[in-house]
Amino acid sequence: MERAPDRQRGGLFRAVLTSDGRPGPIEERLGRRLVRIVDPDSAEGRRLLRRDEVLWIAPGGDALGRMSAREAVDTLRRRLEERLADPADDDEHAALREGLARLQDRWRRVGRA
């Protein structure tokens, strides 16, 4: 008899955080196998995001961990600010500043909605 996946163990849901802080589709995976995609704006998607059941992936592919959407955006913002402070990233400063501005602008608009 095949056993249903244990959702309490975690690691099954993940979503990519776009460069402006929007969540991408939430993927449910069993190992490397994609089981299904959940719309983050659906009732189930909002529930998963609210309960911090989603593993966030940064735009560059780094795992941010399980946290609220707001915490994921704050983590992404801090990472951009740290990279801007690093003189080794001088070649990318313009792109980093643009990404940070886009992220801050989107969340200012979300805060007023």
Q: Which residue has the higher pLDDT, 22 or 25?
A: 25
pLDDT digits (tens, 9 = 90+) for 67-113: 988 888 889 889 888 888 887 767 788 888 888 888 888 777 655 44
CA dist., res. 111 & res. 109, Å (int)? 5
Q: Which two tokens stand for residue 71?
A: 């915490």
Per the structure block, which two tokens stand in for 98? 């643009």
If one counts the domains in the chain, the total is 1
Distance in angstroms (rounded) separating the CA atoms of residues 14 and 57: 7
Interatomic CA distance for residues 92 and 43, integer angstroms: 38
Determine which of 1-5, 11-15, 31-35 has the lowest per-residue pLDDT on average.
1-5
Q: Is residue 27 part of a domain?
A: yes
86 lies in some domain = yes
CA angle 33/15/53 to nearest 5° reads 90
Are 91 and 9 a contacting pair, CB within 8 Å?
Answer: no
Q: What's the confidence (pLDDT) of residue 66?
A: 92
Residue 41 has pLDDT above 50, yes or no: yes
Report if residue 63 sits inside a domain.
Answer: yes
Residue 1 lies in a domain: no
Please state, rounded to an integer, the average pLDDT across all residues of the chain.
Answer: 82
Provide the pLDDT for residue 25.
96
What is the arithmetic mean of pLDDT over 46-71? Answer: 90
- 102 lies in a domain? yes
User: What range defines the domain where residue 90 resides?
Assistant: 13-112
> Is 52 inside a domain boundary?
yes
> Which residues lie below 8 Å from residue 106, measured CB to CB, with a gap of 6+?
20, 21, 22
